[in-house]
Amino acid sequence: MGRVIWMFGGLSILLLDAADREKSFESVGIWTVVLIVGVVAAGILFFASREMTKLRKFYENMLDKQLEIEEKQNQILTNMSENIHNAAHEALQKSHDVIENQAHSALEKEKLMEDIEDQLLGVTNNLIDFLRLKSKKIEINNKPFNLNNVLNEVSGLLGTKYAGKELELIFDVDNNVPRYMIGDSLHIGRVLTNLFEYMFSQLTDEELKLEVSMFSSHEEKIDMQFRLRDTGPGIPTDGLESLFVPYYDEERGAYMGLGLFIAKSLTELMGGTLYAESREGKGTTFLLDLPLKLVDSGNRRRYRLPDKVLTEKRVLVVDSSFNAALAIKKMFAYFRHDVQVIRKEDFEFSMPKMDGYDIVILNESLYREKVLRYLQKIKTEKGDLKIISLNNLLNVKESDFYDGLIDAHLFKPVNQERVFELIISLYDMGVSRILLQDRIEEDKESRLPKAKVYKSEIQEAKGITPESFSDFAGKHLLIVEDNRINQKVLTNLLAQSGIRITLANDGQQAVEIVKSGKIKFDFILMDINMPVMDGFTATQVIREEGRFDIIPIVAFTALILESEKQKMFNCGINAFLAKPLNVGKLYQAMAMYISDKAIASAKEAERREKEALFDGLEINKGIAHTNHNEALYIELVKEFIEAYGQSDETFEKLVREKRYEQIKMLCVDMRGLSGTIGATDLHRLVNDIYRHILFNKHELLWGYVEKYAKEVAKIRKAAEAYLFLKR
């Protein structure tokens, strides 16, 4: 009963307080919301606290790494003088060991000594740049420059340093990338060189590709991106984190990571960014972004062929690297050519018809007898087919073995300027006149005597010291060079010589200094890759006035291709010196032109030049084919004359008796031997005879009997004169 009363009582209370309960529920709802908000806020504070802790730890780690980097850099600075001494001492010890080692030939010793000198020079240059960066002495000079000149110089340095390395190097330049832009070309080249050198040190026979792209920002400002990617083993994550941190390796006794540290530091000074991505087993990629400017924002067309007849050609490209072939296709397509790419394997499996093409570009390994015969047939029938041999800059082989068939050599990595020059030269449009900004109208009768041209490689004078240059005391030298370190090296080398030196930082300055007439120069040392005005153009402009023809201009360059050297001579350069600086060769170059003494003087140079011009026999070319071993060359000439000196009689007899297979065998022997000893004219003649044999044009052979006899007689006479001189 009481329980019932309680229930009814409770019910009555509920009914009586319904209004109050509604208010109570509202109150509870508000407090619930407040509670939830509080919980959420607490959660946010908790997670924010955790994130702040993580962020704090991240910054602490960053600070620790920065301190570690600074500590390592300070350690390098602290020990630098001692380590430079150690490196120099080690180099001297290696040099001594090479000299004392009787197992090496004289030529091998010379090559090993050059390698040791280059290694020490590389370390020293990196250390100098490192010190200049730390002391904030490096200045960024933004001036107009030609990007292709930078790429050519970088590839030239790599081709010299890593000659023979089995690696595919590709330049893939987007068609919108301008020819001229404003930036610091010297330091851009240094950054790219350092990146390439690091990647070369990590690779064996893989592929290394540089992709160059341009992204417009606003008005004349552009963002240039250089992406270097390889197909190598990649870098572990822990190695990637410290990739740009330099340190001294006690075990190796060498500085590690200096090149990449310098590259990153120079990039940041130029306002750009540089970082690396890598996956083990998948390769490594460096991404270099640089803010630059256009020289002429209204002129987006960088290269213009001089005649419409040079455009819209049908081009076939076949290469061992499909990626390299695609990059070449892009550059020819820029000039409105219709380009087809075929894989080397597909070409070898089933050789396609090539009579529908205007230009055929084949990898040098594809020029076998079957292909040669087919191409010769097409060329004979069509007449205007252009055939190009595609080679690798790391393995330069500009052979004239197929002189009568191949029109030109193209070397990878390729850029737009090289393709531009190639197209013009293929159709005889006068490359040197078109490429340069100003043309020369020569009045030969009014011109003064010209300084002599030496197209051969300048030989190194031995035992040269800084004191040796006093032989040129009183002479006035103009050094045209944008690299301040190279300027200082040269001026320090010549400081005590008594030579008067004037410096120009670019080609434009050089032109103004020379044409002012205030100084009468005896010798000009001209860099090629410079901002504002390059060495090609500067030389051309100087040569516009005949009164300056007497001044010898010697190029100082990293360019190594025969086509590049020929371009120098077309511009008016007299001789060339390869980078890096070789003191003995610099002395010899100056002696050839301005020495008043007999020691390694111009008389010696003239004697060498006369040797090279023996009628029918190019001595210097032959010596180069024996790896510059003249003693070996002398023996080779002797053996050639003894074995084939009377081959003209043999050839006539074989033709008379129609023994064509024996004639073919004689040609095979003579092609190789005549080319090796430098008998260029005989070599070409034998090639012609050989092709007639291949195409069964036996009726034409009688026309070569007298020609062959004359060439062999010339070689006998030249060889006898040369051998008499060498007794």
CATH number of 445-604: 3.40.50.2300
CA–CA separation, 207 and 167 (whole Å): 6
Nearest Cα neighbor of 145 from 183, 106, 97, 173 is 183
C-alpha distances out from residue 403 to 154, 179, 567, 593, Å:
29, 32, 20, 34
Q: Buried b vs exposed e over 303-316: b needs ≥16 C-beta within 10 Å?
A: bebeeeebeebebb
What architecture does CATH give domain 313-429? 3-Layer(aba) Sandwich (3.40)
Nearest Cα neighbor of 623 from 470, 435, 457 is 457
pLDDT tens digits along 603-617: 454 555 555 447 778
What are the structural domain ranges in the chain?
Answer: 2-134, 143-294, 313-429, 445-604, 619-725
CA–CA separation, 392 and 493 (whole Å): 36
Residues β-bridged to residue 146: 180
279 membership: H or E segment, kind and range: strand 273-279
Neighbouring residues of 585: CB distance < 8 A, sequence distance ≥ 6: 458, 459, 460, 461, 577, 578
The per-residue pLDDT for 48 is: 61
Give the tokens for residue 69.
């980097």
CA–CA separation, 500 and 37 (whole Å): 84
Contact 663, 701 (CB under 8 A): yes
Q: Which amino acid is at 714?
A: K
**DSSP 8-state class, residue 179:** S
| φ, ψ at 293 (rounded to 5°) | -130, 155
CATH number of 143-294: 3.30.565.10
| φ, ψ at 258 (rounded to 5°) | -65, -40
pTM over 0.85: no
Contact 714, 615 (CB under 8 A): yes
Q: For residue 25, with 0-12 CB atoms within 10 Å meaning exposed, 13-18 middle and 19 or more buried, which class applies?
A: exposed
Q: For residue 411, with 0-12 CB atoms within 10 Å meaning exposed, 13-18 middle and 19 or more buried, which class applies?
A: buried
The per-residue pLDDT for 33 is: 63
Neighbouring residues of 656: CB distance < 8 A, sequence distance ≥ 6: none
Contact 507, 534 (CB under 8 A): yes
CA–CA separation, 282 and 284 (whole Å): 7
Give the tokens for residue 686.
């034998």
Nearest Cα neighbor of 503 from 528, 522, 477, 523 is 477
CA–CA separation, 99 and 112 (whole Å): 10
DSSP sequence for 80-122:
HHHHHHHHHHHHHHHHHHHHH-TTS-HHHHHHHHHHHHHHHHH
CA–CA separation, 78 and 131 (whole Å): 11
Q: Which amino acid is at 229?
A: R
Q: Which amino acid is at 323?
A: N
Nearest Cα neighbor of 233 from 204, 261, 212, 213 is 204
pLDDT tens digits along 668-707: 888 778 878 888 888 888 888 988 887 788 888 888 899 8
Contact 534, 555 (CB under 8 A): no
Tokens 């010899």 correspond to 588
Residue segments in the chain with a per-residue pLDDT below the cut of 50: 1-16, 18-19, 21, 25, 78, 81-82, 85, 400-401, 430-447, 598-603, 605, 612-613
| φ, ψ at 111 (rounded to 5°) | -65, -45
The per-residue pLDDT for 507 is: 93
DSSP sequence for 259-276:
HHHHHHHHHHHTT-EEEE
Each as own residue / partner, the long-range contacts of residues 421-426 (CB below 8 Å, 24 or more positions apart, any chain) are 421/563, 421/567, 422/388, 423/305, 423/310, 423/335, 424/305, 424/306, 424/310, 425/563, 426/359, 426/386, 426/388
CA–CA separation, 413 and 211 (whole Å): 11
Domain pair 313-429 / 445-604, same fold: yes
Nearest Cα neighbor of 189 from 116, 109, 290 is 290
| Kind of pairing between the strands at 221-230 and 207-216 | antiparallel
